[in-house]
């Protein structure tokens, strides 16, 4: 657990930062080399590794394999404490601030400390905000929390600002993996206007046009998982 800010500083403001999400539950070790070759040919800037439900030990095996093929920073995006491994570079230290489940607001974080102190991971305090997308998400099910309705704009903004005021270093607006309805551009722009920390946006973004819209609205980092899982040729549309 370190205080350095290399990864945080690697998020260039107002640039097209792209995080590719690898879910250890959906990627086999054998598939990593080919997948990362494609990542390396795209303009991806970061690799996130995580999922809502991942078996113990899988994350470490996958991270070790990913690191063999790329120099991009590998950042844990954990649904639970068992996904922590010191083989990654950093960790989004998530607090699910859209929800009201104490385990996901502070419980898991306390549980994580005894593991984190034994690592060199860059710990990045992240306010994680789940927004309703038209269908139930794995995050909602696992955390037993309700997302914020997507029409409750002021609640979404106030939640993000509260996270920033609490000292969080990133705000992550999440529609959920495979979301039917990605985060609306007007939500992105209104949140962005009220915070001065980087804004991550993910969930349900499937086309180059949707990704561009998210950047234009003010997303500093866009996260793509499902679109690459479904069709690796999508990387061709995002060449560096
Ligand atoms: C502090 C530590 C160690 C853990 C944080 C625990 C918290 C607060 C987690 C937030 C809630 C949560 C379950 C987040 C998971 C985020 C994630 C990696 C989502 C990726 O997508 P999936 O939810 O796996 O989607 P699929 O169902 O498509 O696989
Ligand atoms: O899988 P997708 O829909 O791209 O979502 C990415 C990420 O925001 C999920 O946590
Ligand atoms: Mg998953």
Name the residue ranges covered by the structural domains of the chain. Answer: 15-238
Distance 228 CA to ligand 3 centre (A): 14
**To which residue do tokens 């905000």 refer?**
129
Residue 143 scores a pLDDT above 90:
yes
| CA distance readout (Å), 155 to 93, 129, 138, 203 | 22, 11, 22, 19
Cβ atoms of residues 152 and 37 within 8 Å: no
Position with higher pLDDT, 3 vs 226: 226
Please give the Cα distance from 202 to 9 (Å, whole number). Answer: 20
Distance 199 CA to ligand 3 centre (A): 22
Predicted confidence band at 13 (pLDDT cuts at 50, 70, 90)? confident
60: buried, middle or exposed (CB in 10 Å: 19+, 13-18, 0-12)? middle
Distance 204 CA to ligand 2 centre (A): 6
Average pLDDT estimate for 136-154 = 98
Predicted confidence band at 4 (pLDDT cuts at 50, 70, 90)? confident
- For 65-98, b where at least 16 C-beta lie within 10 A, e where not — what string? bbbeebebbbbbbbbbbbbbbbbbbbbbbbbbbb
The protein residues having their C-beta less than 5 angstroms from ligand 3 (an ion) are 23, 25, 51
Average pLDDT estimate for 142-170 = 98
Average pLDDT estimate for 80-102 = 98
Distance 221 CA to ligand 3 centre (A): 20
Average pLDDT estimate for 195-209 = 97
Q: Looking at the CA of 128, which ligand is closest?
A: 1
Tell me: the pLDDT tens digits for 24-69?
A: 999 999 999 999 999 999 999 999 999 999 999 999 999 999 999 9
Residue 18 scores a pLDDT above 70:
yes
> Which sign does the torsion angle of CA 165, 170, 172, 173 carry?
positive
Q: Which CATH architecture has domain 15-238?
A: Alpha-Beta Barrel (3.20)
The overall average pLDDT reported for the chain is 97
For residue 170, the surrounding DSSP H or E stretch is strand 170-174
Helices and strands of the chain, counted as H and E runs: 10, 8
Ligand 1, CB cutoff 6 Å, lining residues: 23, 25, 50-52, 77-81, 84, 93-96, 104, 108-109, 112, 128, 138-139, 142-143, 177-178
């Amino acid at each position: 657990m370190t205080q350095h800010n290399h990864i945080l500083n690697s998020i260039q403001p107002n640039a097209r930062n792209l995080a590719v999400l690898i879910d250890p539950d959906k990627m086999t070790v054998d598939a990593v080399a080919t997948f990362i070759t494609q990542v390396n040919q795209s303009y991806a800037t970061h690799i996130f590794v995580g999922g809502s439900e991942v078996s113990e030990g899988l994350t470490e095996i996958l991270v070790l394999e990913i690191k063999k093929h790329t120099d991009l920073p590998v950042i844990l995006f954990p649904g639970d404490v068992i996904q922590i491994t010191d083989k990654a570079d950093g960790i989004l230290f998530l607090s699910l601030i859209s929800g009201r489940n104490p385990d996901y607001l502070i419980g898991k974080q306390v549980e994580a400390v005894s593991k984190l102190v034994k690592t060199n991971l860059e710990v990045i305090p992240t306010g994680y905000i789940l927004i309703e997308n038209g269908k139930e998400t794995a995050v909602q099910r696992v955390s037993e929390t309700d997302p914020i309705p997507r029409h409750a704009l002021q609640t979404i903004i106030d939640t993000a600002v509260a996270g920033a005021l609490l000292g969080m270093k990133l705000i992550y607006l999440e529609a959920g993996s495979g979301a039917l309805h990605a985060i609306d551009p007007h939500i992105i722009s209104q949140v962005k206007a009220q915070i001065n920390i980087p804004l991550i946006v993910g969930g349900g973004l499937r086309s180059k046009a949707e990704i561009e819209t998210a950047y234009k609205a003010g997303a500093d980092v866009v996260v793509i998982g499902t679109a690459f899982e479904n069709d690796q040729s999508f990387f061709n549309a995002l060449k560096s």
